[in-house]
Structure 1
């Protein structure tokens, strides 16, 4: 057998520090019966987007971005070397937009049913995936509350364009899966929504915090108050993180970029704080298009959102 010197398999790290573990190294494919504290699944779906979007590429981009981070939190002294079970991606049909949403629901329903982990992270995809994910999640957790980080209400009517990435929370409300009063929206931005959808939110009892509201009060205080209210009404809480809640300076890879949004530290602080609540069990991250990102900036923020979620569960 010919021996090759100084050659590594393609794709392996060029440099390995013996004392450093990167978060991507924790990802482990699921096997029947395997359990861990955290599990992830990809929902590579973006053809329901009302604007141009390559968000179907985001699950892979976010996983790759995990290679940018170590497992050690210097701020807390916690080093989490736990396995993260990776279920891979739900298979998508290249042309069946409506059918893909059903596939996402069925695929995520099967994934959640494994009970492989107490805490879940779903990597989108555009925001339409949240309807499928929360619907599947509600099968074992019928009383669900949602905290949505977003510039948009995503309460658009279905008649004008079908089930798009602008409709997931209206559909959840109208399907009887989510009570309007159990939906908390943080970061709603000026000139990104129609008055009719602000009115719909009021009609259904949705709790809305605009960027102006959040400028007047620390986000931890807002979350403390709303988590306390939600926990009295629901059994579990699901975080839905639309990355366009961030200002365009922090998330250039979002299809719907715009000024006046959150800074990345505020979002990371909020997810970390919310994750510490015992009823927060799952999170999705949506609306990143890696094909228009700059140096993977947006995917790196998303990967850090995952880390803050996991860190919050370790405090």
Structure 2
């Protein structure tokens, strides 16, 4: 039967014939299919040290892409022909954290081995998902440099709680995946970390830029500085965006919100600037908790972060 108005299995949303929404360029990955950007969901937040529903974020961020067009007015360029391949979400184990981390590392590695895309975006999840993701990138590309936007060092000890969303970069360093000098942290916030972990960062030659540094030097200067530190010694650069780097006024849907963070515009500008470098092959976006969000503000900002990485 032919329906006059109904379109089964399709949303009844308004369609402007001249406007392409970002989610319209997202298609499921199929074998031997190629595209520009690969997307994978890492929906895991059981290792969060605070109550978190970040496992729901991959879905809400994908949905938020439907709120924005592919046309950049600032660049006067339309990205409607850019192909985004969706590799789906990694199925987590219901009780075994170690098995879940293994599944995520294997899945990211398999995605990279397809060589289907130029860049890849990992949608977390809490920040613990960066450990398996970055480990997979290291296996594929060799020496890896990381730019981390975050209020926290994420260098907590493993003894008190195992691998959590507070330990990914300590885990990477102690597992020999990442050298401390190849990690640059932007937006570390005051009264948000322990002295022991600040000392650990110094001991391992991690490049740390606090919010005071951002205020004094400016986000563009710092972003340029960290790129220069990594570009001549690393085989690839990975961007890790913890959304709690942003002030709680702009990103209320994070488990560890706080005042005095980056503005939304500072984060977007910094990510866009870093993403222009040819060594940047991947980015994760983590610590979006849709259950704590207000009008999807944080998911929408995360979608914009994703777009700043894609459309460079």
TM range (shorter): over 0.9
The question of 1:269 aligning with 2:277 is answered no
Asked if structure 1 preserves the Cα contact closer than 8 Å seen for 2:109 and 2:140, the reply is no
Q: Does 1:9 align with 2:15?
A: no
CA-to-aligned-CA distance 1:189-219 (integer Å, 9 cap, x gap): 0111100000000000000000011001121
Alignment-derived partner of residue 17 in structure 2: 18
Task: For residue 273 of structure 1, report the CA deviation from its aligned partner.
Answer: 0.4
d(CA) in 2 for partners of 1:236 and 1:132? 16
Alignment deviations for residues 96-118 of structure 1 (CA, whole Å, 9 cap, x no partner): 22221111111111111111111
Q: Match of 2:230? A: 230
Q: Report the number of matched residues.
A: 311
- In structure 1, the partner of 2:257 is 257
Is 1:72 the counterpart of 2:68 in the alignment? Answer: no
Match of 2:176 in 1: 176
| Other-structure match for 1:124 | 124
Query: If the length of structure 2 is used for normalisation, what is the TM-score?
Result: 0.98
1:6 Cα deviation after fit: 2.3
Query: Which residue is 1:45 aligned to?
Result: 44
Instruction: Name structure 2 gaps, 5 residues minimum.
Output: none
Unmatched 5+ stretches in structure 1 = none
Instruction: Answer yes or no: is the 8 Å Cα contact 2:246–2:262 preserved in 1.
Output: yes
Corresponding position of 2:215: 215
Q: 1:31 aligns to what?
A: 30
| TM-score for the superposition, normalised by structure 1 | 0.97
Equivalence map 1:91-110=2 (5 Å): 91-110=91-110
How far apart are the structure 2 equivalents of 1:14 and 1:103? 36
Pair 1:205–1:218, CA change in 2 (3 A): same
Match of 1:154 in 2: 154
Work out the CA distance in 2 between the residues paired with 1:7 and 1:238: 44
Decide whether the 8 Å contact of 2:186 with 2:208 is kept in 1: yes
Alignment partner, residue 115 of structure 2 = 115
